[in-house]
A and B are shown apart, each in its own frame.
Chain A
Amino acid sequence: MKIAENTFGSKYHVDEKGFYGRFGGAYIPEMLFPNVDELQRNYLQILKDPSFQEEFDQLLRDYVGRPSPLYFAKRLSEKYKAKIYLKREDLNHTGAHKVNNTIGQILLAKRLGKTRIIAETGAGQHGVATATVCALMGMECVVYMGSIDIQRQAPNVARMKMLGATVVPATSGSQTLKDACNEAIRDWINNPVDTHYILGTAAGPHPYPDMVTRFQSVISEEIKKQLLEKTGKENPDYVMACIGGGSNAAGAYYHFLDEPDVKLIAIEAGGKGVHSGHSAATTQLGKLGIIHASKTLLMQTEDGQITEPYSISAGLDYPGIGPLHAHLYETGRATFLNATDDEALQAAYELTRLEGIIPALESSHALAKLGQVAFKPEDVVVVCLSGRGDKDMETYIRNLPAYTGDNV
């Protein structure tokens, strides 16, 4: 793959100061300045280096198993009366798109001379992907995870431990993803010299949103090639992806951002309903604010305290959204929908029975909105199937009778 060249000047890419429109930047305390400054100064140069690209490319191919297939979902297409393709990030090593970014960042950390890796994780997918690349490179790995998420994602906690990572419970605040992220940032403040923070989504201080997006942009780069082979056209009519922080969506959109004919659809977690008080639909409920050092849309109280989001999916349970996505929302470049817990579960069972694929709960949110877009029969629709459902089996089995009528 080819990591995208300098894109300054494009309306939908980051500018020299780390902003997408009015969103982004690096609102960091001085204690983080040397670390973040080092990254800002070096990341583009390191990413452009041919030896870096070669190593990244080789690992994505031989270790992750890329390119991931672009699968024409025939029965799903029949049901929704469009040509639906699934970008199979679920088939990556470790089971989700997260590993594209962790491979990129661990190679970057090595080039910066770092010896210790920290990460945050919500559902555990990013934690597992980080623990995996740390094992691969023989580096120390500490993963922060909310105490509540540790309980609800036990299999991924076990995987991280087996891979040699230390899993540290985040006991502050709501004890979920946002607090895990706070703890990782605090760790970085306390370990400024030897440690690299592998942030898992397209959020956080500049350059993380852009850096993570570039590593994930392999998704849309492959989609273009694969669509050309399969349909004779590089560009689809629609790209659909779920959004928590927004890294799989950012990667799936990247090479289409400046192609106005490609409609981008983002699906947030509606939880129990946008206005139920139990939701993570940030664009619908958020206001301009600062979370994890990024100026973006943010769910907060009228006094500016960050509120606790809710979703059945631990990977979408985030009160903010990456600054690129806030910009895509504000400019209208992407259409934002949301899917409730219930709709996501239904979509998961549907994909399982129509295509024999058990999707992650996160990805199921994107699938859940196939029925709500007015497709023409000839439309080519790509859905980013960001991860597989192994980690969600307990939830799926528990809800199976209610949704399918089957006994477990």
Chain B
Amino acid sequence: MSNRIDQLFAGKKTGVLNIYCTAGFPELNDTLPVMQSLQQHGADMIELGMPFSDPLADGPVIQDSSTRAIKNGMSLKVLFEQLKDFRQHIHLPVLLMGYLNPVLLYGIEEFCKKCAEVGVDGIIVPDLPMDEYEEDYKPVFEKYNLHLIFLVTPETSEERIKKIDSVSKGFVYAVSSSSTTGKDKDMGHQQAYFEKLKALHLKNPVLIGFGIKDKATFDAAASNSNGGIIGTAFIRAIENTTNLDAAIKQFIAGVKHN
């Protein structure tokens, strides 16, 4: 059984654009319209945030979007309801990103089963320890053909990067700097880290995230890996818009073209 993430990277080796948006944001029922606009205007992959009250790895912009989505009424139950028929419209690979607590309470097996049912391809849970995943959950994720994507950072040792690569499926998420999301740390200082990643010849493709906000930063990421992930800048672009589709079109054009 093939996974859409693998299919994407099989056909596209460079410049893969993955865009993050919190589910149920800006309004509860914007989840699908946002996905449709992302697909129509040229994103290659969609990362949907499952909002959590206490997102430790996120900066203020994504925190606020989560708070707003929760206030809008978003939950895992509502999200799976919204995603019930999304594969009739969306062919891009779709990831769910979120924190372990809501998933644990929902039930890991039930969660994976639902993801497979609606057509989700991959999961990012930054606070799920790799060891625990290997010991307890890997067979469940594999049973439902879900790729679990792990993060590496500039502080991650070479040995651990190799371990993470061996456990990851789909791609490895390379955090560009030691930071929470949305911090403006200069990616220029991270060249040695990107070179190190390239030299390791990982089995998985690599996407760079954190700090990517425009064409210059996306190109920098793309030239050092298979592509980039944008979250905070995208949330900013749509948080106050009156025309979602137009805002998304403009945002993606700004990242892809001058």
Query: Which residues of A are interface residues toward B (Cβ below 8 A)?
Result: 25-31, 33-34, 172-173, 178, 182, 185-186, 189-193, 287-293, 298, 300, 302-306
Residues of B within 8 A of A186 (CB): 56-57, 59, 180
B1 within 8 A of A: no
Given B54, B126, B152, B178, which contacts A306 in the complex, CB threshold below 8 Å?
B54
On whether the beta carbons of B156 and A30 are closer than 8 Å, the reply is yes
Residues of A within 8 A of B77 (CB): 303
Measured CB to CB, the nearest residue on chain A to B154 is: A192
Residues of A within 8 A of B57 (CB): 29, 31, 186, 189
On whether the beta carbons of B106 and A304 are closer than 8 Å, the reply is yes
Given B52, B75, B129, which contacts A27 in the complex, CB threshold below 8 Å?
B129
On whether the beta carbons of A300 and B67 are closer than 8 Å, the reply is no
| A303 in contact with B102 given A30-B126, A290-B127, A293-B127 (CB within 8 Å) | yes
Cα distance, A190 to B79, chains bound together (Å) = 31
Cα distance, A289 to B54, chains bound together (Å) = 12
Contact flags B156-169 to A (C-beta < 8 A → 1, else 0): 11001000100000
Residues of B within 8 A of A29 (CB): 56-57, 126-127, 151
Instruction: Tell me the smallest distance from the CB of A172 to a CB of chain B, in Å.
Output: 6
B247 within 8 A of A: no
Number of chain B residues whose Cβ lies closer than 8 Å to a Cβ of chain A: 40
On whether the beta carbons of A173 and B67 are closer than 8 Å, the reply is yes
On whether the beta carbons of A290 and B56 are closer than 8 Å, the reply is no
Residues of A within 8 A of B126 (CB): 29-30
On whether the beta carbons of B160 and A290 are closer than 8 Å, the reply is no
On whether the beta carbons of A190 and B101 are closer than 8 Å, the reply is no
Residues of A within 8 A of B103 (CB): 304
Given A25, A193, A289, which contacts B101 in the complex, CB threshold below 8 Å?
A289
Cα distance, A74 to B12, chains bound together (Å) = 80
Cα distance, A185 to B63, chains bound together (Å) = 14
Instruction: Tell me the smallest distance from the CB of B192 to a CB of chain A, in Å.
Output: 15
Cα distance, A303 to B106, chains bound together (Å) = 7
On whether the beta carbons of A182 and B151 are closer than 8 Å, the reply is no
Residues of B within 8 A of A290 (CB): 99-101, 104, 127
On whether the beta carbons of A300 and B101 are closer than 8 Å, the reply is yes
Residues of B within 8 A of A292 (CB): 56
Instruction: Tell me the smallest distance from the CB of A178 to a CB of chain B, in Å.
Output: 7
Instruction: Tell me the smallest distance from the CB of A367 to a CB of chain B, in Å.
Output: 32
Extra pairs beyond A186-B59, A306-B54 (5, CB < 8 Å): A30-B164, A31-B57, A31-B155, A300-B105, A304-B103
A sample of 10 cross-chain residue pairs with beta-carbon separation below 8 angstroms, ordered by A number, consists of A30-B150, A30-B153, A30-B164, A172-B67, A186-B57, A189-B57, A189-B179, A190-B179, A300-B105, A305-B102
The A/B interface has a contact count, at CB < 8 Å, of 105
On whether the beta carbons of A178 and B54 are closer than 8 Å, the reply is yes
Those 5 A-B pairs whose CB atoms lie nearest each other, nearest first: A304-B102, A303-B75, A304-B105, A29-B126, A30-B151
| A190 in contact with B127 given A30-B150, A300-B101, A304-B101 (CB within 8 Å) | no
Cα distance, A172 to B67, chains bound together (Å) = 9
On whether the beta carbons of B178 and A192 are closer than 8 Å, the reply is yes
Q: Which of A31, A34, A287, A292 has the most CB of B within 10 A?
A: A31
| A190 in contact with B180 given A185-B56, A303-B76 (CB within 8 Å) | yes
On whether the beta carbons of A27 and B127 are closer than 8 Å, the reply is yes
B70 within 8 A of A: yes
Cα distance, A48 to B96, chains bound together (Å) = 44
On whether the beta carbons of B54 and A189 are closer than 8 Å, the reply is no
B254 within 8 A of A: no
On whether the beta carbons of B102 and A172 are closer than 8 Å, the reply is no
Residues of A within 8 A of B250 (CB): none
B33 within 8 A of A: no
B132 within 8 A of A: yes
Instruction: Tell me the smallest distance from the CB of B58 to a CB of chain A, in Å.
Output: 8
| A189 in contact with B180 given A27-B128, A31-B175, A303-B75 (CB within 8 Å) | yes
Instruction: Tell me the smallest distance from the CB of B152 to a CB of chain A, in Å.
Output: 6
Measured CB to CB, the nearest residue on chain A to B131 is: A17
Cα distance, A34 to B156, chains bound together (Å) = 7
Residues of B within 8 A of A306 (CB): 53-54, 101
Cα distance, A27 to B56, chains bound together (Å) = 11
B60 within 8 A of A: yes
Residues of A within 8 A of B52 (CB): 304-305
Instruction: Tell me the smallest distance from the CB of B32 to a CB of chain A, in Å.
Output: 20
Residues of A within 8 A of B175 (CB): 30-31
B113 within 8 A of A: no
B57-90 interface (Cβ within 8 A of A) = 57, 59-60, 63, 67, 70, 75-77
Cα distance, A27 to B57, chains bound together (Å) = 12
B183 within 8 A of A: yes
Cα distance, A298 to B105, chains bound together (Å) = 11
Q: Which of A29, A189, A191, A289 has the most CB of B within 10 A?
A: A29
Instruction: Tell me the smallest distance from the CB of A27 to a CB of chain B, in Å.
Output: 4
Cα distance, A185 to B99, chains bound together (Å) = 15
Cα distance, A287 to B104, chains bound together (Å) = 11
On whether the beta carbons of B53 and A190 are closer than 8 Å, the reply is no
Q: Which of B57, B151, B152 has the most CB of A within 10 A?
A: B57
Instruction: Tell me the smallest distance from the CB of A323 to a CB of chain B, in Å.
Output: 15
B133-155 interface (Cβ within 8 A of A) = 150-153, 155
Measured CB to CB, the nearest residue on chain B to A289 is: B101
Residues of A within 8 A of B100 (CB): 27, 290
Instruction: Tell me the smallest distance from the CB of A302 to a CB of chain B, in Å.
Output: 8
| A25 in contact with B132 given A186-B180, A303-B75, A303-B77 (CB within 8 Å) | yes
Contact flags B177-214 to A (C-beta < 8 A → 1, else 0): 01110010000000000000000000000000000000
Instruction: Tell me the smallest distance from the CB of A387 to a CB of chain B, in Å.
Output: 27
